Each structure stands twice: as C-alpha cells, then as structure tokens.
C-alpha cells in the first residue's frame, strides 16, 4: 500500500486460524485463535513536509552533476551545504532509506465450563500471548546534503532490533441465581499480566565513526483480584458492588498494591409506560480507579547510567567511564481517581425520544508530577512523585430519537452535549503560594520555549503568554506587550495565564 508521501509504502501479510469446539454436552466451550502477521515498512522522512513549506519554489528540484546526489542544495561560499537553509524535500525523501520488518504472533484461548452439579456456577479461563520481533535499518549516503559532515564523514548507518512480549492469564467464577423477588449475579476472579521488551541500536556515519548506541530492556507485572455483585429486587431496584485489588511491579513492595471499590444504585420509576413520559430511571454511582501507567518501569529503584564520553574521569593517561546515578522516589504510588455521579435516564413520547442527563465530580489524588526538588535532597533537580490533585466537574446530556417513522422509512437523530470544568488543586508536596507551576507545551523548532503551564487554581495546560497591546481600532500591535508588574521591562515576570485549549462545552449531532 502506497503512503501519502513518496517512499512511504506499507505491506502486511496476515494468516489466521480459529477453532471453537463444544465438549461434554456443550458444558465446556473452548475458543482458540491464532493470528500471524509480517509487516514491512519504509518510513518516509517526515521532515520533508516542513521542508516543502519553506523551500524556495523558484529553485529547481534537481541540479544535475552536483556533489549532493544531483538534488538542488543551498551552498555556502566554500561550496559546503548551508545548514541554515531549508533542505530539499525530495532529497530528504529519496536519500534516506529507513526500512523495518516486524513479525508478530497473537494467541488467544478461552475455556468456559458450566458445572453439571451446579448449573448456575460457571468457570472461565482466558489465556493470551502477544509476541513481536522487529529489525530495521536506516541508510543515508555520505553525499546527502542534510547528513553532510566535512570533518567526521557524513551519511548515516543505523541498525536496530526490538522484541516485545505480553502474556495474560485470567480466571474467574460466575454465579447467577433467580429467586422469587430477587436476582443475584456474583463474580470473583484473578488476573496476571506480564509485559517485557528489549531493544538495541547502533548508529554511525559512513566513515565508521560511532555516533550513538544503546541497549534497553524492561519488564512489568500486573496482578489483580476482583469481584462483583449484582442484586436486582422486584425488577425495580438495582445494586452493583465491585472491588478490585491491583498490584504493579512499577512501584515498591510497600506501595504497589491499591484497593479500588465502586458502588452503583438505580431505581426504575417508570418502565414500558406510555404517553409523554414512557420510562424513567434514577441512578447514583461512586467509584475509585487507579492509574499506574505513568512512564518508566522502575521509578522507585536507584538506577545508574553510563556517563557520556565527554564526562569520563581521568586516571593518569586513561579516561574511565563512570556510572551516573538517576533520581528516584521509593514512595511513589498509584494515582487514584474518585468519581461521584448522579443520572436520570428517561423516555418520552412512547419511547420515540430517549435520553440521559448526568452530573459528575471526578477527583484525582496523588497525581504524579515532574517537580523540582531542593538541591542535595536527591540525585537530580527534578523528580516524578505524587504531589498533585485535580478535579473535573461536569454535566452530560445525551438524546436519541426518531423524527419520522413509516413502513419503509425511518429518520433517526442523536445529540450529545458535555460541559466540563477542570481545575488543578495541588501541585507540590507542601503548600507553596510562590510556586509558579509546571511549564509544558513546548514550541516546535527547537527554540526551548513553552506556551502552557500547569498551575494550582487553573485548568490543566492553561496558556502562559504575554498580554498583547492593541491599538484604538482593536488590532494587535506587533511586538508590544503589557508590563504587568510595572518594573519597566518585559520579561518572564510579565507572563500570565490566559484561557485554555480545552473547550467548556462539547456538542455532537448525528442523523441517519
């Protein structure tokens, strides 16, 4: 399959097999699936998109006979490529050969057994295995202007390999029983999941000078014990209780387990009615969820990395590579989000219009944040740790209905609206009114500046900018900003928080 850019083809070969027998008078249902894939990619140089925007359209693409692959190149007075000029976009595409091959196998098996002596009891086992292995190369000739290096030899040669593995084991028991005025459904189970990866790469120029190399490996375990109880009384009152105990190897033995309960209650006030109000259901809910996927598999462990070549230590005539300690937080733990919600489900006009109106409060505690730490208290100036709290408050409205209905024609529509207010309520381990916040939203182009900020009392990702000065006609005056602190100069002390990227209101509509 051809890509949008030149030199961006994609090829995938897939084979699959499924088997679903029933045994023991169909009390045992088995499902087995296997799928294999081989994928070949050639990755186009995405930098060609930006280069095409800035390249001078009056210049030719080709320059036959020049030293840089016959592609037009801006030159300096000494004949070398000008590194500050826009690169030739076609040269970026055709002179960079970046290819990879990935083999992947997916295995999934499940067994569902209904006990003969107790038909209301069922056991389910799920097994999963996902393995992939890939390798790739990047080759750029030494005459490519964008990889030119007169001193060390240009071009690029990179080789990389990667393996990934994801294993899953899940087992649970389900029990369902009907009584005279009550229905009971219960479930309890165990889940085990293992993630593993390994990758390495080596990069050099065509003169053989090593530019970069690295090896990485890691693994992660997730364990869960979970249970759920559903009770229905008189087909009118519904109660659901759940409890999860999740553990992750991402955190220390003292902090790796979290307990996450939830409860929901509903009342069917009107069901299968007629007239203006044909159905009405009231719901209340409470739940706690955990988040451990916060980047890095070993955030709580001391880690040591080999120093850079320019940071080696000299012993006599020999320069020795040292080990550089990384910052860590042994006490880092789960983020927890607690949600309270209340909702009304309704049906109008004999069920031709159905909708839900729901309000919620979502409080996230122990939000993991990358914050500065006092000098000498850790092995780094910044660290990932639990310091943040954030709250979201909102209302959601969903409507689905039938505008026209005939024997051979229906016209249905859907509408949804969500109002959400987001606020960060804590960002530091202790209250610090002077703490500015966390600068985010880096500006592209390697300028090193940001345009957004996380601050207490404001929405996440608020814009952090200078206040524009406008003329008497309301037009902005270029390069002129308000001196907000009145010190006679414009600098970072004059930045202020101005609006946010997320809208307060989301609207959606469909018709079919």
pLDDT-derived band at 469 (thresholds 50, 70, 90) equals very high
Residues 377 and 488 in one domain: no
| The pLDDT value given to residue 209 | 64
Q: What is the pLDDT of residues 446-457, one digit of tens each?
A: 567 889 999 999
Query: 425 and 325, same structural domain?
Result: yes
What is residue 285's predicted lDDT score, i.e. its pLDDT? 98
For the chain, the C-alpha Rg in angstroms (whole number) is 31
386-425 pLDDT tens trace? 888 999 999 999 999 988 888 888 899 999 999 999 999 9
- Going by pLDDT thresholds of 50, 70 and 90, the confidence category of residue 83 is confident
**3 within some domain:** no
pLDDT of residue 507: 97
Give the pLDDT score at 103: 98
pLDDT at 462 over 70: yes
Residue 267 located in a structural domain: yes
Only one residue has tokens 């050099």, namely 204
pLDDT tens digits along 491-510: 989 999 999 999 999 999 99
Is residue 431 pLDDT above 90, yes or no? no
Q: Give the mean pLDDT of 339-346.
A: 97
In DSSP terms, 156 is beta-bridged to 140
Q: How confident is the model at residue 295 (pLDDT cuts 50, 70, 90)?
A: confident
pLDDT at 29 over 60: yes
Residue 4 forms part of a structural domain: no
Residue 84 burial (C-beta neighbours within 10 Å; 0-12, 13-18, 19+): exposed
Q: Which residues contact 9 (CB under 8 A, 6 or more apart)?
A: 1, 2, 3, 41, 42
Closest among 246, 339, 327, 243 to 291, alpha carbons compared: 246
What per-residue confidence (pLDDT) applies to 124? 98
Strand ranges (DSSP E) for 317-433? 318-320, 323-326, 335-348, 353-372, 382-405, 410-426
Strand, helix or coil at 88?
coil
Q: Is the pLDDT of residue 110 over 70?
A: yes
Are 273 and 279 within 8 A, CB to CB?
Answer: yes
Residue 401 maps to a domain: yes
Angle, alpha carbons 377-378-380 (nearest 5°): 125
Q: Is 5 part of a structural domain of the chain?
A: no
**In this predicted structure, what is the pLDDT of residue 266?**
98
User: Does 259 fall in a domain?
Assistant: yes
Which pLDDT value is given to residue 206? 67
Q: Are residues 306 and 393 in the same domain?
A: yes
Distance between CA atoms of 3 and 6, rounded to whole angstroms? Answer: 7
CATH number of 259's domain: 2.40.170.20
pTM of the model: 0.83
Let me know whether 67 and 104 are in one domain.
no
Tokens of 266: 């509903």
Q: Are residues 251 and 112 in the same domain?
A: yes
Phi, psi of 185 (to 5 degrees): -135, 125
Same domain, 286 and 430: yes
54 and 150, same structural domain? no
In this structure, the answer to whether residues 65 and 155 fall within a common structural domain is: no
Q: By residue range, what is the domain housing residue 76?
A: 46-95
> Would you give the end-to-end CA distance of the chain in angstroms?
32
Residue 383 covered by a domain:
yes
Same domain, 263 and 150: yes
Distance of alpha carbon 327 from alpha carbon 325, whole angstroms: 7
- Please give the residue that has the higher pLDDT: either 211 or 432: 432
In a domain, 504, yes or no: yes
Q: How many separate domains does the chain show?
A: 3
Q: Would the pLDDT of 82 be above 60?
A: yes
Name the pairing type of β-strands 182-204 and 210-233. Answer: antiparallel
The residue from 95, 119, 134 where one domain ends is 95
Same domain, 169 and 304: yes
Q: What is the DSSP letter of 52?
A: H
pLDDT at residue number 445: 58
Give every CB contact of residue 79 below 8 A, 6+ residues apart in sequence. 67
Task: Please report the pLDDT score of residue 138 as a whole number.
Answer: 93
204-196-187 Cα angle (round to 5) = 155
Structure tokens at 82: 């000008």
CA 214 centroid distance within chain = 24
Instruction: Give the pLDDT score at 447.
Output: 65
Q: Do 87 and 170 fall into the same domain? A: no
Count of C-beta atoms within a 10 Å radius of residue 87: 24
SS3 percent helix, strand, coil of the chain, rounded to 5, is 5, 60, 35
Give the closest residue to 336 by CA, choosing from 261, 271, 270.
Answer: 261
Under the banding of pLDDT at 50, 70 and 90, the label for residue 294 is confident
Residue 98: CA count within 13 A, CB half-sphere: 13
Q: State yes or no: pLDDT of 369 exceeds 80.
A: no
Mean pLDDT of the chain: 91
* 105 and 89 in a common domain: no
Q: Which residues pair with 36 in a beta bridge?
A: 15, 105
How many residues make up the chain in this entry?
512
């Amino acid at each position: 399959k051809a890509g949008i850019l030149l030199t961006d083809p994609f090829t995938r070969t897939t084979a699959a097999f499924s088997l679903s027998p029933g045994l023991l008078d169909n009390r045992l249902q088995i499902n087995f699936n296997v799928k294999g894939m081989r994928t070949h990619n050639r990755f186009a140089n995405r930098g060609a998109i930006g280069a095409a925007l800035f390249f001078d359209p009056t210049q030719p693409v080709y320059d036959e006979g020049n030293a840089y692959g016959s592609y037009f190149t801006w030159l300096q007075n000494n004949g070398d490529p000008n590194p500050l000029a826009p690169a030739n976009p076609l040269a970026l595409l055709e002179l960079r050969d970046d290819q990879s091959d990935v083999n992947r196998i997916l295995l999934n098996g499940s067994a569902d057994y209904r006990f003969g002596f107790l038909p209301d009891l069922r056991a389910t086992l799920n097994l999963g295995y996902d393995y992939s292995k890939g390798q790739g190369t990047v080759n750029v000739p030494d005459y490519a202007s964008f990889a030119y290096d007169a001193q060390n030899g240009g071009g690029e040669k990179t080789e990389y390999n990667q393996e990934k593995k994801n294993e899953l084991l899940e087992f649970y028991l389900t029990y369902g029983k009907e009584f005279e005025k009550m229905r009971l459904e219960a479930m309890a189970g165990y889940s085990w999941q293992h993630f593993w990866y390994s990758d390495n790469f080596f990069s050099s120029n065509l003169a053989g000078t090593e530019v970069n190399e690295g090896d990485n490996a890691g693994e992660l375990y997730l364990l869960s014990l979970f249970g759920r109880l559903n009770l229905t009384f008189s087909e009118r009152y519904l109660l659901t209780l759940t409890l999860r105990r999740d553990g992750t190897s991402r955190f220390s033995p003292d902090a790796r387990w979290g307990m996450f309960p939830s409860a929901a209650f509903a009342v069917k006030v009107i069901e299968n009615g007629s007239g203006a109000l044909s159905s009405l259901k009231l719901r209340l809910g409470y739940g706690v969820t955990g988040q451990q996927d916060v980047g890095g598999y070993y955030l709580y462990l001391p880690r040591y990395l080999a120093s850079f070549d320019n940071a080696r230590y000299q012993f006599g005539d020999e320069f020795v590579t040292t080990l550089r300690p990384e910052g860590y937080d042994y006490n880092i733990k789960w983020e927890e989000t607690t949600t309270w919600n209340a909702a009304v489900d309704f049906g109008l006009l004999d069920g031709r219009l159905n909708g839900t109106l729901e309000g919620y409060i979502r409080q996230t505690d122990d939000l993991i944040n990358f914050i500065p730490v006092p000098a000498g208290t850790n092995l780094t100036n910044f660290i990932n740790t639990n310091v943040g709290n954030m709250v979201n408050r909102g209302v959601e409205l969903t409507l689905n209905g039938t505008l026209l209905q005939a024997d051979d024609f229906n016209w249905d529509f859907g509408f949804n609206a969500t109002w959400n207010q987001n606020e960060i309520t804590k960002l530091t381990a202790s209250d610090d009114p002077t703490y500015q916040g966390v600068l985010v939203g880096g500006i592209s182009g390697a300028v090193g500046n940001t345009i957004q900020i996380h601050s207490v009392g404001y929405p996440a990702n608020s814009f952090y900018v200078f206040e524009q000065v406008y003329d008497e006609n309301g037009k902005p005056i270029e390069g002129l900003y308000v001196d907000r602190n009145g010190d006679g100069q414009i600098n970072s002390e004059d930045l202020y928080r101005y609006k946010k990227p997320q809208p307060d209101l989301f609207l959606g509509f469909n018709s079919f």
